[in-house]
Amino acid sequence: MTEHDAAAGPAADLMVVAENVHKSFGRLEVLRGIDLEVRRGEVMCVVGPSGSGKSTFLRCVNHLEKINAGRLWVDGQLMGYRQKGGRLHELRDTQVAEQRRGIGMVFQNFNLFPHMTVLGNVMEAPVQVKRERRADVREHALRLLDRVGLADKAAAYPRQLSGGQQQRVAIARALAMRPELMLFDEPTSALDPELVGEVLDVMKDLARDGMTMIVVTHEMGFAREVGDSLVFMDGGVVVESGPPREVLGSPRHERTQAFLSKVL
């Protein structure tokens, strides 16, 4: 891997660059030197055993967790820091929040606001955070709900929806901020099997539309069909990565083989 000049930043076609990213919680070293690159428009799927650091890595990408060493660029910006002369200076919370706006995140458990309607959920961030005009936000939100197949649920409350519908609202809500990058952390793991497909279809549609995505998932069919790259993580490192068909079809490392033999 090439060294990126911290001042100039990575090449313009790279949306995410992780260089030797380390993260510890107390004495537990969870990420032990992650190197990876995600091109603009790429869909990267991340798989690996429980506890391997997948969620932690996603949380580092949008700086919900501060890394202990290494560098992380998103959209050409060093996450959480500003380079001045040869030194790094930590950004203020408001500046980090600004960086984070370009990144949408979707979690396993939807995390919708229970007291707000579906439309209210999708409108909340652009109205409160971006202070956009209500009428414009509303129009955009309705378009997004239509896109995820939920135009008729705008007035419903989350508790009135199935898990698959709630997750599609969560995706619409993330898209309402017009992100450049979408992070998905096991978006279908909490769903009944018959609801998984409708959420994956929405993600497929996003991918076709050119969205850059990092998707932590156990859905190997999705990874094979939609993923441009597949990363296998174990023990806080990237053990193996490459085109999904290659990694899934002929894994090179023993640990990858052992993991895949359990999930495929």
Ligand X SMILES: Nc1ncnc2c1ncn2[C@@H]1O[C@H](COP(=O)(O)OP(=O)(O)OP(=O)(O)O)[C@@H](O)[C@H]1O
| Residue 25 interface partner, choices ligand X, Mg ion, none, CB cut-off 5-8 Å depending on type | ligand X
Site for ligand X in 221-250 (CB under 6 A): none
CB closer to ligand X, 61 vs 175: 61
Site for ligand X in 53-112 (CB under 6 A): 53-56
Residue 203 structure tokens: 């993600």
Per residue, the 3-state secondary structure of 41-75, as one string, reads CCEEEEECCCCCCHHHHHHHHCCCCCCCEEEEEEC
d(CA 108, CA 111): 8
Q: Look up tokens 């510890």; give the residue.
A: 24
Q: Look up tokens 């809500």; give the residue.
A: 173
The verdict on 51 binding ligand X (CB under 6 A) reads: yes
The verdict on 55 binding Mg ion (CB under 5 A) reads: yes
Strand (E) or helix (H) holding 222: helix 220-226
| Residue 50 interface partner, choices ligand X, Mg ion, none, CB cut-off 5-8 Å depending on type | ligand X
Residue 174 structure tokens: 């993330």
**Region of 51-59, 75-83, 155-163, 218-226 interacting with Mg ion (CB under 5 A):** 51-59
**Region of 2-10, 48-56, 88-96, 119-127 interacting with ligand X (CB under 6 A):** 48-56
The verdict on 50 binding ligand X (CB under 6 A) reads: yes
Residue 189 structure tokens: 């793991």
Shortest CB 47 distance to Mg ion, Å: 11
The verdict on 30 binding ligand X (CB under 6 A) reads: yes
Per residue, the 3-state secondary structure of 141-176, as one string, reads HHHHHHHCCCHHHCCCCHHHCCHHHHHHHHHHHHHC
| Residue 53 interface partner, choices Mg ion, ligand X, none, CB cut-off 5-8 Å depending on type | ligand X
CB 112 within 8 A of CB 166: yes
Residue 92: exposure state from Cβ atoms within 10 A (0-12, 13-18, ≥19): exposed
CB closer to ligand X, 75 vs 219: 219
| Residue 10 interface partner, choices ligand X, Mg ion, none, CB cut-off 5-8 Å depending on type | none
CB closer to Mg ion, 56 vs 241: 56
Beta partners for residue 37, in sequence order: 17
Residue 44 structure tokens: 């990267």
The verdict on 56 binding Mg ion (CB under 5 A) reads: no
Give the one residue of 11, 25, 76, 243 binding ligand X; rule: CB under 6 A. 25
133-134-139-145 Cα dihedral, nearest 10 degrees: 120
Site residues (vs ligand X, CB under 6 A): 25, 28, 30, 48, 50-56
Question: Footprint of Mg ion on this chain (CB under 5 A)?
Answer: 55
